[in-house]
């Protein structure tokens, strides 16, 4: 259908440019029929002026249409790029929030001297992981969501693994915090035994619980478990987190290509 329209257009153009002037010329060569006060050269000149005006108007109209579409294209591309850049920044911030190496460094710097601070850091990190997808979903509509579903699902699955390991570290630092009070608890119970009634029953029960708990834990075992968990964090970072970064890059690269294709289609003059 498109080829037929092109062929007919070419034939019509040839007829207007070549055919009609030939017809005019042949009519005046015969010098018969309706006689005019002007000759063939005048008619051909007049026709040429009219044809030239039509071509000029058509060219101007095409230029206006093309310029309008170019403006629409540039505006569409600009708005699209700004939109995807904003979303990419949000995704990168979310990935930064669940980056295990960030919290691992702070925990390793503070865990031994202040296990409570290490626990607080890990709990805040868990919160970041748990709300990661909620933040992403809040910035996506129903049309855009399918483009990011694979990436969002991967972030959610990886964040769950980070939460699981961080909880195990919290458990170890909680045991370490208890272990730090072992000697104090033992001294308190010894003083209570020598001087009954020196402390409240709640205080005594708490310290008895600490002493009992410390029978099954040791500094060496806690330190060993924390080291293993830190190693697991690093492994997941290298295998899963880096894969998330690559998937994020490839996802937005595909979107960029799609946006460019949609933008180029705006310049197409064909009817769909």
Start-to-end CA span in the chain (Å): 12
pLDDT of 255 above 60: yes
Residues 168 and 124 in one domain: yes
36: left (phi over 0), alpha (psi -120 to 50) or beta: beta
What local confidence, expressed as pLDDT, does residue 21 receive? 65
Whether the CB-CB separation of 107 and 123 falls below 8 Å is answered with no
How many domains is the chain partitioned into structurally? Answer: 2
How many other C-beta atoms lie within 10 A of the C-beta of residue 210?
20
Mark which of 49, 70, 91 sits at the end of a domain: 70
Percentage of residues in the chain having pLDDT higher than 90:
38
Residues 229 and 96 in one domain: yes
Note the pLDDT tens digit of each residue in 59-89.
888 888 778 888 878 888 888 889 999 999 9
Distance separating alpha carbons of residues 184 and 203, to the nearest angstrom: 12
Residues 121 and 242 in one domain: yes
Q: How many residues does the chain have?
A: 272
214 is a domain residue: yes
Note the pLDDT tens digit of each residue in 157-210.
999 999 999 999 999 999 998 888 888 888 888 887 878 877 788 888 887 888
270 is a domain residue: no
38: left (phi over 0), alpha (psi -120 to 50) or beta: beta
Residues 86 and 205 in one domain: yes
Mark which of 47, 70, 93 sits at the end of a domain: 70
Mark which of 70, 96, 130 sits at the end of a domain: 70
Residues 191 and 247 in one domain: yes
Range of the domain at 220: 76-265
Residues 52 and 87 in one domain: no
Residues 65 and 154 in one domain: no
**Residue that has been written with the tokens 């249409």 in this structure:** 65
Residues 29 and 136 in one domain: no
């Amino acid at each position: 259908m498109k080829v037929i329209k092109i062929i007919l257009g070419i034939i019509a153009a040839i007829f207007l440019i070549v055919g009609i002037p030939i017809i005019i010329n042949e009519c005046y060569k015969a010098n018969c029929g309706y006689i005019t006060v002007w000759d063939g050269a005048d008619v051909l000149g007049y026709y040429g002026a009219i044809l030239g005006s039509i071509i000029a108007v058509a060219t101007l109209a095409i230029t206006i249409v093309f310029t309008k579409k170019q403006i629409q294209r540039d505006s569409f591309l600009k708005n699209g790029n700004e939109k995807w850049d904003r979303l990419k920044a949000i995704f990168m911030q979310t990935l930064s929030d669940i980056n295990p190496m960030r919290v691992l460094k702070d925990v390793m710097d503070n865990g031994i001297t202040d296990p409570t601070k290490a626990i607080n850091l890990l709990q805040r990190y868990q919160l970041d992981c748990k709300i990661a997808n909620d933040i992403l979903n809040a910035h996506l509509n129903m049309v855009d969501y399918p483009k990011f579903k694979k990436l969002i699902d991967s972030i959610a699955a990886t964040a769950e693994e980070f939460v699981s390991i961080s909880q195990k570290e919290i458990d170890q630092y909680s045991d370490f915090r208890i272990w730090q009070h072992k000697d104090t608890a033992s001294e308190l119970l010894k003083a209570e035994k020598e001087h009954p009634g020196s402390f409240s029953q709640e205080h005594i029960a708490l310290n008895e619980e600490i002493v009992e708990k410390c029978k099954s834990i040791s500094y060496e075992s806690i330190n060993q478990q924390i080291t293993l968990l830190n190693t697991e964090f690093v492994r997941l970072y290298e295998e899963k987190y880096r894969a998330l970064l690559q998937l994020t890059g490839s996802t937005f690269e595909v979107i960029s290509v799609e946006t460019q294709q949609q933008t180029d289609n705006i310049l197409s003059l064909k009817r769909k």
